[in-house]
Amino acid sequence: MRWVLGAVFLLLAGYLLQLELLVYAMCSLLGVILVSRALAFGWLGQVSAERVCNRARVQVGERVAVVLTVRNRGILPVPWLLLEDSLPQHALRQRPPRIKIEGRRLKIVWLKGRSEQVLTYQPTFLMRGYYQLGPLLMESGDLFGLHRRFRLAADPHFILVYPKMISLDDYDVASRRPVGEVQLTHRLFEDPTRISGVRRYQSGDPISRIHWRASARSGQLQSKTFDASTVAGATLLLDFHADGFPETETLHASELMITTVASLANTLLQLGEKCGVVSNGRDAADRVRVEGFRIEFRTRRGARTQYGMQDRSDRLEPVCVPTQQGDDQLTRILEALARLELTDGLSVAELLAESTGRIPRDATVIAVLCSASEETAIALGQLQRRGYSVLVVLVCFDDTRFRESAGRLMAQNLAVRRVESDEMLGELCRQRMVSRV
């Protein structure tokens, strides 16, 4: 714009001063500017792009093939076109990185009229998460470098990477109470497979309840009695508030916590138990803008800012997978864990205040924490005093911090276990967890 204003000013000055050479030069310059601007707009406007990914859900360590096809729908050739497929920068800069790239996602091409170019690369996902591939950033301009245009094309694809799970082969399955005893204050349901004794027949007892052998021996009708079912399952409470993590341990501790919850959920559901997850973390899908993105930008930074996701969140709504059984329950839990990210929203105390009504009273609450403040310990202690069975698993690498957190929790009469590594997680699950009742 400054070039145009300067050329117009000099043109008027030359006209008023009757400087024919200056007028001719400014007319030529204005012509070049206008033609270059028109060509720059026309070139990028006739280019379209399409992305194809062969998979949308993968396991940690698996690779996805990405194919971008860029087409010139016009007759005029495009002298130069810079293509860059956008990837989350934090995932690439992090050490160790979350994504490893093979192939080229940045390329400069020349497009003839009615032609196309293909850009291919293969990202390998090294950690669980919810990753955005794209959109494609396209940059072009005139041959003189006077005008540049930027566009976003090829709507983003989202790849869900499931968290890692550890096989807990030595889990104590004999007792059918792998997460601790549950005190049943209301015996609403009886387990017909667990006969506890017999009693005299009462009016209204169904025929299926009559114990015929005992009736024959005693000469009077006898009815079976059953124990209440104690296979109550667990609700896994995961603390993903950023303030609960030391800066140097955030990455490793958070990933080990996800692995712990995923492994426990997998084992519980395989045993036929109910299982659910409640967390104060942020669902990564919430970060994705639903209104779409602009197509044109003046600068490359403006384009990056537009499609970039927010790094912080003050989310005030829990992430909740209801505690239940089902063939697809594990998939729902793993998807929620894969998308979960640290947040600046609810503390553990606020999370319990928001979600206690969604936690079944007959299910053990297993709280997976990195550290426990006084407020957190009191909130969990109050939950136990309200009749819930509570067990705390501390994923903690520092001995001093573990002793401080465990001391606060045990002061509230809470059972505490520690996890420092995948191997220690297996050792934890080989024990029979018995919480205080």
pLDDT at residue 437 greater than cutoff 70 = no
Beta-strand ranges (E) seen in 239-308 are 275-279, 282-283, 296-297
* Residue range 352-385, pLDDT digits in tens: 999 988 898 888 899 999 999 999 999 999 999 9
Confidence of residue 168 (pLDDT cuts 50, 70, 90): low
Choose among 284, 291, 283, 294: nearest CA to 135.
294
Least confident range of 41-55, 132-146, 343-357: 132-146
Choose among 245, 322, 331, 323: nearest CA to 281.
245
Phi, psi of 114 (to 5 degrees): 55, 40
* 430 touches 359 (CB < 8 A): no
pLDDT at residue 35 greater than cutoff 60 = yes
* Residue range 82-100, pLDDT digits in tens: 999 988 888 888 888 999 9
Question: What's residue 362's pLDDT?
Answer: 80
Question: What's residue 178's pLDDT?
Answer: 44
- Going across the sheet that includes 275-279, the strands are 319-324, 275-279, 234-238, 364-369, 390-395, 415-419
More confident position, 194 or 264? 264
d(CA 163, CA 339): 9
Find the length of the chain. 437
Question: What's residue 406's pLDDT?
Answer: 94
pLDDT at residue 219 greater than cutoff 60 = yes
pLDDT at residue 54 greater than cutoff 60 = yes
Segment holding 303, helix H or strand E: helix 300-307
d(CA 354, CA 63): 39
Question: What's residue 14's pLDDT?
Answer: 75
Kindly report the average pLDDT of the chain as a whole number.
Answer: 82
Question: What's residue 183's pLDDT?
Answer: 43
Tokens of 307: 């499609």
* Residue range 99-146, pLDDT digits in tens: 999 999 999 999 998 999 999 999 999 999 999 898 898 988 877 767
Please return the burial class of 164, using the count of CB atoms within 10 Å of its CB with bins 0-12, 13-18 and 19+: middle
* 30 touches 146 (CB < 8 A): no
Which residues share a beta bridge with 393? 368, 417
pLDDT at residue 399 greater than cutoff 50 = yes
pLDDT at residue 187 greater than cutoff 50 = no
Question: What's residue 291's pLDDT?
Answer: 40
pLDDT at residue 308 greater than cutoff 90 = no
